[in-house]
Amino acid sequence: MAPSSEEVVRVRDVGYFRDLPHGDSAEISLRDARGSLAEHLVAPVVGYLTGGCTLAAAAGYAFDELHPARPEIAPLAILTDGEWSWPNDLPYYVETYRVGLPEEFLRHAEALGWRPPQLTAQRLAELAGEPDD
């Protein structure tokens, strides 16, 4: 059932580490999260994260904040599975630095077989807060 015009659709955030330019100051540091993800989870988590739907995109690029040369990672965007959202540089940090993610998110992704659902344009518009036409 679609939310009414008065309902607010909320997704939970993951991967907005506080030391990223697009991070959340209330979150853990990217530096502190390094090496926290079990090696056997890297591939399925990266697959899940890269399979999300684009919720929003912006001009500009994300850069590797842990590398001294700060190479470009990807254009700035937010991906979602409809319940969680994450910046599209998160798969890079998981793969390169094995950054840890909340257990609740990992259980959610695993329960979906490490395959995020593909969302309809209508669902993405609801998540983005776009008004109905």
Q: For the chain, give the percent of residues with pLDDT over 70.
A: 91
pLDDT at site 8: 56
Query: Is 84 domain-assigned?
Result: yes
pLDDT in tens, 74-99: 899 999 999 999 999 999 999 999 99
Query: Is 4 domain-assigned?
Result: no
pLDDT at site 129: 83
Torsion angle, alpha carbons of 13, 103, 90, 9, to 10: -20
pLDDT at site 133: 57
Query: Is 2 domain-assigned?
Result: no
pLDDT in tens, 39-69: 999 999 999 999 999 999 998 999 999 998 9
Helix, strand or coil, per DSSP, at residue 74: strand
Domain of residue 81: give its range.
12-127
Question: Can you give the pTM of this predicted structure?
Answer: 0.89
pLDDT at site 5: 45
pLDDT at site 95: 98
Q: Please, which pLDDT band fits residue 109 given cuts at 50, 70 and 90?
A: very high
Q: Which of 51, 12, 14, 13 is nearest to 33 (CA)?
A: 14
Q: Rounded CA gap, 40 and 133, in Å?
A: 45
Query: Is 83 domain-assigned?
Result: yes
Number of domains into which the chain is organized: 1
Query: Is 5 domain-assigned?
Result: no
Query: Is 66 domain-assigned?
Result: yes
